[in-house]
Amino acid sequence: MAQTLTILGLESSCDDTAAAVVRQTGDGQAQVLSSVVFGQTELHSAYGGVVPEIAARAHVEKLDLCVVQALDEAALGLQDLDAVAVTAGPGLIGGVMSGVMCAKGLSAATGLPLIGVNHLAGHALTPRLTDGIAFPYLMLLVSGGHCQYLIAHGPESFTRLGGTIDDAPGEAFDKTARLLGLPQPGGPSVEAESQGGDPKRFRFPRPLLDRPDCNLSFSGLKTALMRVRDQIVAEKGGLTRQDRADLCAGFQQAVVDTLAEKTRRALRLYMAENPSEPAVAVAGGVAANTAIRATLETVCAEQGARFTAPPLKLCTDNAAMIAYAGLERFRAGARDGLDLTARPRWPLDQSSPSMLGSGKKGAKA
Ligand code: KG4
Ligand code: ZN
């Protein structure tokens, strides 16, 4: 039986400072012993987006507190750990460097092995941590900074089938909320507002559905919404509550329809290569959207695939996913030295061409 491993994970690639302890026993059962996340929403709220410099400073201030709290909550000390895993990219470089430096300090002081983790691999491996899902599976990452379809073959082996060529869907939700004067983060406010809305009153574009591939685009959707908003304001002098609800419902329906169709295509491609017991997993903050989740579930059921969505707190940015991804690398024999570098870009699938978009996390990996 394999050895029990206990790993400390650190995450600081965007606007969440996080530390967590994950343990996996020899029988393969993994458990999150603690997962601490210090958000920075209020620090950035006046600027309408994440300010990299403010984020990096806040990470530096909070990382050590976060580590202490994660160890306390797990009732463990540094001597009980087998390794320290840290997000080494992709992300906002100042934040990634803060985490990498903190992890190097811990490793140098204790002698614990250091493991650099790709943030996207953290998201993509989460269904293995939460549901023990076996390789291979099809992964859809949808958040404020990411949007891609990946086939996960192994802890460090991914094939990208497609992704956004501009904004990520969470970014589109956030920008839509801003255009309509709704609070941030935009996803939950747009979803709540769309409850009383008519999704058919405004027909927004379903971008790139005319192309056969799995790429997506969301920036035109936001421009189309702005045009309709301006037209209503010009005609009536402002938006009624119903106008706002209908705009939100129309926007959300366009995102739902686009993700449904592209998921259908990605699943067909995936199943052509992996026909037995197909499995699909979703992660990222946008996976919290009830309409999107329900639609993805239906698409999977139509094609006979198992659908997994990790609990929300492990879908959004956290360090448990980094500890777990580090654990998988550690088991496979990977070790990093004190020369580990922070990388702003780090595509999971090195062989596929880089995407064009540049979102709040910097260039899309
Ligand atoms: O994964 P996450 O916490 O951070 C990033 O890596 O970006 O995702 C945050 C994103 C935000 O853009 C937020 O508006 C979006 O996820 N989001 C939602 C919902 N809840 C959060 N989007 C649509 N519907 C939701 N219910
Ligand atoms: Zn993320």
pLDDT number for residue 365 = 41
The answer to whether 116 touches 128, Cβ cutoff 8 Å, is no
Ligand nearest to the CA of 144: 1
In angstroms, rounded to a whole number, what is the distance separating the alpha carbons of residues 152 and 246?
Answer: 38
In angstroms, rounded to a whole number, what is the distance separating the alpha carbons of residues 112 and 323?
Answer: 14
pLDDT number for residue 364 = 40
Tokens representing residue 32 in the block: 């999150």
Tokens representing residue 193 in the block: 């507002």
Nearest to 120, CA basis, from 94, 157, 171, 83: 157
Compute the mean pLDDT over every residue in the chain, rounded to the nearest whole number: 93
Banded pLDDT at 357 (limits 50, 70, 90): very low
Does ligand 1 come within 6 angstroms of the Cβ of 289?
Answer: yes
Does ligand 1 come within 6 angstroms of the Cβ of 317?
Answer: yes
| Atom number, ligand 1, closest to the C-alpha of residue 145 | 7
Mean pLDDT throughout 44-52? 80
Neighbours of ion ligand 2 (CB under 5 A): 317
State pLDDT tens for residues 279-331: 999 998 899 899 999 999 999 999 999 999 999 889 889 999 999 999 999 99
Nearest to 285, CA basis, from 364, 184, 195: 184
Nearest CA, atom 5, ligand 1: 144
Give the distance (Å) from ligand 1 centre to CA of residue 143: 5
The DSSP string of 299-330 is HHHHTT-EEE---HHHHSS-SHHHHHHHHHHH
In angstroms, rounded to a whole number, what is the distance separating the alpha carbons of residues 132 and 229?
Answer: 45
Q: Count CA atoms closer than 13 A to 146's CA, side-chain side.
A: 32
pLDDT number for residue 291 = 96
Nearest CA, atom 22, ligand 1: 187
Between vectors from CA 320 to CA 188 and to CA 156, what angle results, nearest 5°? 105
Does ligand 1 come within 6 angstroms of the Cβ of 145?
Answer: yes
State pLDDT tens for residues 164-214: 999 999 999 999 999 999 988 899 999 999 999 999 999 999 988 888 999
Does ligand 1 come within 6 angstroms of the Cβ of 316?
Answer: yes
Does ligand 1 come within 6 angstroms of the Cβ of 126?
Answer: no
State pLDDT tens for residues 128-175: 999 999 999 999 999 888 899 999 999 999 999 999 999 999 999 999
Does the pLDDT at position 259 exceed 50?
Answer: yes
Q: Which residues of 206-239 are buried (b: 16+ CB within 10 A; e: fewer)?
A: bbbeeeeebbbbbbbbbebbeebbeebeeeeeeb
**For ligand 1, mutation pick of 16, 38, 123, 143 (most atoms within 8 Å of CB):** 143
